[in-house]
Amino acid sequence: MKATFGDFLAQNPNCSKFDGNPDAIAIFNLLSKDENIIGMIDASEAGKPALSACVDEIEAYFDSQQNSKVDLTDNFTRTAVGRMVKTIVTPF
């Protein structure tokens, strides 16, 4: 069963500032697409960062947003995205 954004928040209470944040939820949903999960698993098994499988898609999403509620240049946010990946890939 796929992880949910609620699972991410429950496993990472320090990321509670993203609760209800539409852009954080959009990132989670992009990462949770079946093809991205498969790509992240494949990348990880090949010794590459899991996020390398879909980072371009995430960056393209944010490039298309006018007033993003998430700053991808912020270290905390980048760490949170990594934690999202962990939450999503762990069940597999």
What is the tens place of the pLDDT at every residue in 32-89?
A: 999 999 999 999 999 999 999 999 998 888 888 777 777 888 899 999 999 999 999 9
The pLDDT value given to residue 87: 97
Q: In this structure, which amino acid lies at residue 25?
A: I
The pLDDT value given to residue 84: 97
CA of residue 76 relative to chain centroid, distance? 13
Cα separation, 52 vs 55, in Å, equals 5
pTM over 0.85: yes
Residue of 65, 63, 66, 4 lying closest to 31 (CA atoms): 4
The pLDDT value given to residue 59: 86
Name the token pair of 1: 């069963």
Return the number of other C-beta atoms located less than 10 Å from residue 87's C-beta. 22
Residue range 6-33: average pLDDT? Answer: 96
